């Protein structure tokens, strides 16, 4: 099992009538996302949700770490939100899927 440490699992998902590749987040990255979510929910900033979406996408979308904040502002919010939700679900977070409580 040790040889699998750090292995990335990816899949292609639809984004703006094209495809991007997302990776399944590691435990460390999931913990980082949870910290970001906690900060976002406590923040009084108007753009806290957008920052959360941007941070999740930068962590999980292959090549998104090269995007600037200005680049993110040029995408439709609904598309970014859908992509973020896909990442969260694929990584076993959120209310649905096999990672939900009670399963």
- Residues 56-92 have pLDDT tens digits of 999 999 999 999 999 999 999 999 999 999 999 998 8
Round to whole Å and give the CA distance between 62 and 20: 7
Residue, of 44 and 10, whose pLDDT is higher: 10
Residue 23 within a domain: yes
| 39 found inside a domain | yes
Q: Which domain holds residue 50?
A: 9-90
The count of structural domains within the chain is 1
| Domain-embedded: residue 30 | yes
- The answer to whether position 29 is within a domain reads yes
Residue 21 phi, psi dihedral angles, 5° rounding? -105, 125
Quick one: pLDDT at residue 42? Answer: 85
Q: Is residue 82 part of a domain?
A: yes
Q: 4 in a domain, yes or no? A: no
Q: Is residue 98 part of a domain?
A: no
Q: Would you call 60 exposed, middle or buried from its count of C-beta atoms within 10 A (0-12, 13-18, 19+)? A: buried
Q: Please check whether residue 67 lies inside any domain of the structure.
A: yes
């Amino acid at each position: 099992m040790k040889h699998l440490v750090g292995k990335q699992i990816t899949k292609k998902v639809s984004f703006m009538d094209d495809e991007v590749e997302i990776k399944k987040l590691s435990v460390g990255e999931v913990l980082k996302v949870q910290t970001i979510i906690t900060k976002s929910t406590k923040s009084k900033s108007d753009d806290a949700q957008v920052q959360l979406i941007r941070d999740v996408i930068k962590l999980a979308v292959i090549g998104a770490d090269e995007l600037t904040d200005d680049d993110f502002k040029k995408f439709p919010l609904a598309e970014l939100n859908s992509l973020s939700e896909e990442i969260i679900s694929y990584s076993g977070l959120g209310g649905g899927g096999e990672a939900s409580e009670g399963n």
